[in-house]
Structure 1
Amino acid sequence: MMQIIIEFAYTGSLSVTVNNVQELLLAADQFNVMDIVRACCDFLGEQLSPENCIGIWQFTFCSCFELQSKAYQFILDHFEEVVSSVEFQGLTVRELTDILERDNLNARKESTVCEAILHWIAHRPEERRGHLLVLLSKVRLALMSQDHLWTTVMSSELVKSNAECFQMVKEILETKDRLTSPALVMRDSVARPRLPNAILLAIGGWRRGDPTNGIEAYDIRADLWINLTNSQERPRAYHSTAFLDGYVYCVGGFDGVEHFSSVHRLDLSTHTWQEVAPMHFRRCYLCITVLNGCIYAMGGYNGHVRLRTAECYRPDTNQWTIIPPMHEHRSDASCTTINNKIYICGGFDGIECLETCEYYSPETNQWTVIAPMNSQRSGVAIVAYADRIFAVGGFDGSARLRSAEAYDPRTNTWYEVPSMLTARSHFGIEVIDKLLFVVGGFNGFSTLRKVEYYNVVTDEWSAACHMEISRSALSCCVVHGLPNMAEYTWCREARPLL
């Protein structure tokens, strides 16, 4: 290790490997060679996985505070995978307690947290069973269903043999139905939902004959929407949004008078808008997606004709570049990315609603036609989900649709999947927490507040909390990894109301 340090002092070159990083980090820290410390920390940060994150967190020290924080956040974000690792069994009761009580522990189901405790105790039952009460008190037990509380918790031999634990769970079972309002839920430590690690944003749209600048954030853990409307941004509809590197980009659209080529981006850490380079073409009814750190914009309507042009934006150069045009003129289409390709489906060519689909490959810089959908769909929404592409809703030329279908890229075939609860076109679609959400839209008579989601595991659609603002022609995106994520969620007990 000393030889490596001395060679680095003379040459400025360094080779950090899996085999030497731990010893090298210790030696560099001992001699205060901070360039090597940073190199080792960067290397370990890139190697984080559910299998090693606890070890890296426990191994790092004060000079590696940034890595230690990153490893700890990785544990919280990937808790469901971490509990299956060998390192999880080595946590001390204090470390496990600290993890379990965090609001930002990412657990889709609280039963996962409860099962993790029982799993940890079962590893050394005689030594650890005495910690059951303090650990179980950190579980949001009131979030679990009564059936799950009975079958998973009350039936556990560990709980039944501990009178205090049994009584605590029994009291929660008897009182959980009284927690009827969000205000009561958020103040109760056993009922307060944990913070999500991703937020669904619904931006802009068309409401009561006019565009809106309304922004709402969906807190999936609380199943509640928060109004975050920012007066700095002008109203727009029939636009498209994307999340990239901590910014939400709002691209194109229409305000009732002007068709936009402009692009505005929202800095989610400061809540401020900034205008960046405009597109080469005015586009409303367009669709955009992100691939390899770039934003791609396709099709749309410029106020005169439907477009088949497409272009690519690089944030590092703040420039748009024209890419080859699509095979079809398309407005009101939808797009997504999967397998390093951009797929676009459906839309309107100025004469008829389309069922045609194609994809763009940045590697070959060309568009390729694929199998058409089973239905014509204008105002459709598509999204990559569960290794497939789902096309949902839209307008077929005569009616708004409830139907949905999925495309398998391996076989180049479409097949039917269960229909939505509500027919709609021009709505938002996103995947969050392994669920496919559809938001707002137009049902042929009025704009919608309704939100629902599809679970590919159960193959069912379910209703979610309605938005506050009824609207169509909105755009949705999912944001994550924000240092101020709590500002975009429903107020928990520890912080004031927005």
Structure 2
Amino acid sequence: MEKQLCDAVIRVDGVEFHVHKLILCNCSPYFRALFTHWSTPDSRVFDIPNVSSDMMKLIIEFAYTGFVPVTQENTQELFIVADRFNVTGIIKACNNLMEEQLTPQTCIGIWWLMETYYYPELKHKAFCFMLNHFEEVAVTSEEFLLLSEQTLAEIIENDQLSVKKEETVFEAILRWIAYVPEERRKYISLLLSKVRLALMSPEYIMESVKDNEMVKASEECQQILLETMEVMLEVRTTRFSDSVFYNPLARPRLPSAILLAIGGWSGGNPTNGFEAYDVRADRWVKVTEIEWAPRAYHGTAFLNGSVYCIGGFDAIEQFSTAHRFDLGTHTWQEVAPMHSCRCYVSVTVMDGYIYAIGGYDGQDRLETAERYEPRTNQWTYIASMHDQRSDASCTALRGKVYICGGFNGNECLSSAECYNPETDQWTLIASMGTRRSGIGLIAYVDHVFAVGGFNGTSRLHTAEAYNPDTNTWHNVPAMTKPRSNFGIAVLDDRLFVVGGFNGLTTILDVECFDIETGEWSDVHDMEISRSALSCCVVYGLNNIAEYAAARYSLQLSNEEDEAE
């Protein structure tokens, strides 16, 4: 740095930085106070303790250039120094990088740091990340083992803790205690009381909890187990009793994601029915106050925190319209319409775009396709498919859009193709083993699953999966019931099918497939019987509780209060 017209020297660890007071004053209130209040007007050399010369060099360079090289290695040290000198530009840059660096291994450390230096927004994000990734945090984070017993208790009693099985929470407690067993075993009753024991399997409680040495030795734990058995008996006799649902030992935790079922055909007419499925409680919740025209044979997509409803049919006309639903305010807003009217449309999301493919415009089955970019609020045509397809279904996998089946105006199709956005080309792939119109298509466990549909004669319960590595289809276990024109989505590592038409009537039943067990199992029915609906999964919502089954006295963390 040139020394011309410099009027101050900052001295750190014997290293001198010749600076201009005005430049540093503009960068930081600390230096403004140092030069104007904490020294005499004729002071020229300023010794600053407890900071490295490397860090001071970065602070001064930022004051002159407005840029600082924030790296994974220097983030936290630079943040602490920038906080000391109140350099907001560097603090913001460090916060942004630390937010990007949130992992199961780093989230607790970042949370502690933000608590020490009081940055509630990032502290809240780090805490939420910990809750949402608790299963991995509890197993891989060394800092998890350093939590205080009170902090651990607050974490595991939080309704927003995301665990597929409550057994995970008990095992996390055992890992924490085992780190310093003699000191921590006395906290077993405090921590066990925060676990939703009645959500565990009876076998696990008898074999792993009841027989645990620490649990056996604690009278308080024995009392908790006795209460648990009573609650579990009540759960089995009154499955959806509110008193059971609100009991702290049995209350399901909030889900991190919600499955929405929107619109459809019900009772001979289109509906604007809007339901949300809470996977932790196995309940459907009717989302009220939804001002939206009844619609069927449409598509939905979740992108950038909003739900989009594309095209469709209201029993009179086919639509080109697109609407965006704000999950925060529960309100709809119309966005730019598509170039074509499309009912029986296939819709998916990939790389920040919404794809609307094929469909029926009231006269023709379409081979055309277009995509929407929310940033510009514009639809753009992409290359057309090889086949005309209405009542098909599409999904995204590994940077490509796949579409299968459908109806071309003459017959139900077994053909399939995929779109590569880099070349703007559709390529025919191996055909399915079965013709399927009104099909459900979804990416699941790195394959494309084609489920149910109509083969021209009957509704199907069969399913098959496509392997993109071998360009082959193979049969997978069939659903328990035949259905076409249903909703399909992946939630909680399971494939869900929702409602549909069984050949005689619309249905409200729901089932899911678990690749680990290879079995389909029943899920709680929707409130509304309907087909031609559309489903999507939403996540990352601050107001997820508004779409979940009601819990009694939800325990919102202090972090949320501080972030408001």
TM-score by length of 1: 0.98
Structure 1 unaligned blocks of 5 or more: none
The aligned residue for residue 156 of structure 2 is 100
The aligned residue for residue 256 of structure 1 is 315
The aligned residue for residue 65 of structure 1 is 120
1:52 matched to 2:106? The reply is: yes
Q: How much does 1:432 deviate?
A: 0.6
Q: Is the 8 A contact 2:290 2:331 kept in 1?
A: no
Q: How much does 1:122 deviate?
A: 1.4
Q: Report the aligned-residue RMSD.
A: 1.2
Q: Mean alpha-carbon deviation: is it higher for 144-153 or for 471-480?
A: 144-153
**Match runs of 1:387-406 below 5 Å:** 387-406=446-465
Q: How much does 1:64 deviate?
A: 2.4
2:165 is aligned, of 109, 113, 116, to 109
1:75 matched to 2:130? The reply is: yes
Q: Is the 8 A contact 1:186 1:491 kept in 2?
A: no
Structure 2 unaligned blocks of 5 or more: 1-54, 556-564
**Match runs of 1:109-258 below 5 Å:** 109-179=165-235, 180=238, 181-258=240-317
Question: Partners of 2:290 and 2:302 in 1: how far apart?
Answer: 20
Q: Partner of 1:390: helix, strand, or coil?
A: strand
Q: How much does 1:159 deviate?
A: 1.1
Deviations 1:38-65 (A, max 9, x none): 1001001101111111111112244422
Question: Partners of 2:77 and 2:408 in 1: how far apart?
Answer: 63
2:94 is aligned, of 24, 27, 40, to 40
Question: Partners of 2:251 and 2:191 in 1: how far apart?
Answer: 16
Question: Partners of 2:372 and 2:501 in 1: how far apart?
Answer: 30
1:283 matched to 2:342? The reply is: yes
Q: How much does 1:171 deviate?
A: 3.0
Deviations 1:235-267 (A, max 9, x none): 000000001111110000000001000001110
Question: Partners of 1:171 and 1:34 in 2: how far apart?
Answer: 52
Deviations 1:390-424 (A, max 9, x none): 11000011100000011111111110111001100
Q: Partner of 1:116: helix, strand, or coil?
A: helix
Letter of the 2:552 partner, please give it. Answer: E
Letter of the 1:183 partner, please give it. Answer: D
Letter of the 2:126 partner, please give it. Answer: A
1:13 matched to 2:72? The reply is: no
Q: Partner of 1:449: helix, strand, or coil?
A: strand
The aligned residue for residue 84 of structure 1 is 139
The aligned residue for residue 268 of structure 1 is 327
2:527 is aligned, of 434, 453, 468, to 468
Q: Is the 8 A contact 1:29 1:63 kept in 2?
A: no
Number of residue pairs matched by the alignment:
496
Q: How much does 1:229 deviate?
A: 4.2
2:476 is aligned, of 417, 436, 439, to 417
Deviations 1:212-233 (A, max 9, x none): 0000000111100011144510
1:352 is aligned, of 411, 415, 435, to 411
Question: Partners of 2:314 and 2:436 in 1: how far apart?
Answer: 24
* Structure (1 or 2) with the larger CA radius of gyration: 2
Q: How much does 1:184 deviate?
A: 1.1
The aligned residue for residue 30 of structure 1 is 84
Question: Partners of 1:175 and 1:18 in 2: how far apart?
Answer: 48
Question: Partners of 1:388 and 1:151 in 2: how far apart?
Answer: 37
Letter of the 1:53 partner, please give it. Answer: C
Q: How much does 1:22 deviate?
A: 1.3
Deviations 1:177-200 (A, max 9, x none): 113234112321111000001000
Question: Partners of 2:138 and 2:383 in 1: how far apart?
Answer: 47
Q: Is the 8 A contact 2:198 2:229 kept in 1?
A: yes
Q: Is the 8 A contact 1:214 1:229 kept in 2?
A: no
Question: Partners of 2:261 and 2:501 in 1: how far apart?
Answer: 15
Q: How much does 1:161 deviate?
A: 2.1
The aligned residue for residue 362 of structure 1 is 421
Q: How much does 1:377 deviate?
A: 0.4
Question: Partners of 1:151 and 1:63 in 2: how far apart?
Answer: 44
Q: Is the 8 A contact 1:213 1:229 kept in 2?
A: no
Letter of the 2:512 partner, please give it. Answer: Y
Question: Partners of 2:179 and 2:77 in 1: how far apart?
Answer: 30
Q: Which runs of 4+ in 1 moved over 6 A?
A: none
